[in-house]
Amino acid sequence: NAGVTQTPKFQVLKTGQSMTLQCAQDMNHEYMSWYRQDPGMGLRLIHYSVGAGITDQGEVPNGYNVSRSTTEDFPLRLLSAAPSQTSVYFCASSYGRGSTDTQYFGPGTRLTVL
Amino acid sequence: AQSVTQPDIHITVSEGASLELRCNYSYGATPYLFWYVQSPGQGLQLLLKYFSGDTLVQGIKGFEAEFKRSQSSFNLRKPSVHWSDAAEYFCAVVKGNKLVFGAGTILRVKS
């Protein structure tokens, strides 16, 4: 199993550009989530999904969209990038439909918005 | 409201010394608690978790944590630190259908 994969590893955007961060898992996990990590703030939940076709907002959803058309994939879209979205983004997945199961994290995407 | 507090931003210990990383939570009568570790440039890996039962839980890499309801704490411990333990450690609590993380503690190990 590849586990949780994320692409790209690094990305530089200009303010106002849009892009999609890809996340895929091959463990047949129901629960998937996106976090952003900023120094001194830990990981903050952006959006999550408890199964295909179901998504919900986390702590910091503004400026981001998600969809979950398949169990495997959970892309994160930045609609109009802003410097405040410079961060490291992690995707995670877990077996159950809730957040009580062990989450498996991808390697992260480091995004810089100029 | 802050759900998880890790009071120490940085901790430095000597190799072979004991370690305790503090975590206080403020959500849930019976919380679901986790400790994750992040090595430099990597994603997070689960060290251990507590849901119920024995309040002392054992994890991977020789780590353990003790749940103390009266103190709303879930501190992580290791009797003897190795240089490879240098990393950032995150405490987390389940809040509804979400996992809420503390700000993290960076552990430095000096030889």
Q: Measured between beta carbons, which residues in chain A are less than 8 angstroms from residue B34?
A: 102
Distance CA A77, CA A73 (A): 13
Q: Measured between beta carbons, which residues in chain B are less than 8 angstroms from residue A90?
A: 43-44
Q: For A38-47, A62-71, A98-107, B12-21, which range has the lowest pLDDT when averaged over its residues? A: A98-107
Q: Measured between beta carbons, which residues in chain B are less than 8 angstroms from residue A100?
A: 32, 51, 94
Distance CA B69, CA B76 (A): 15
Query: What are the tens digits of pLDDT across the range B22-60?
Result: 999 987 667 899 999 999 888 899 999 998 888 999 999
CA atoms within 13 A of residue A91's CA, in its CB half-sphere: 26
Distance CA B46, CA B86 (A): 15
Kindly state the helix (H) or strand (E) to which residue B13 belongs, with its residue range. Answer: strand B10-14
Query: What are the tens digits of pLDDT across the range B52-110?
Result: 888 999 999 999 999 999 999 999 999 999 999 999 999 999 888 888 999 999 999 99
User: Which of A40, A98, A108 faces B97 most closely, judged by CB atoms?
Assistant: A98
- Could you tell me which residues come within 8 angstroms of residue B87 by beta carbon, excluding any fewer than 6 positions away? B37, B38, B39, B40, B106, B107
Asked if B44's CB is within 8 angstroms of A90's CB, the reply is yes
Q: For residue B2, name the pLDDT band (cuts at 50, 70, 90).
A: low
Residues 21-80 (B) with a CB less than 8 A from some CB of A: 32, 34, 42-46, 49, 51
**Token pair recorded at residue A12:** 């530089």
Beta bridge partners of B36: B46, B90
CA distance B50 to chain A (A): 10
Instruction: Answer positive or negative: Cα dihedral of B49, B55, B58, B64.
Output: positive
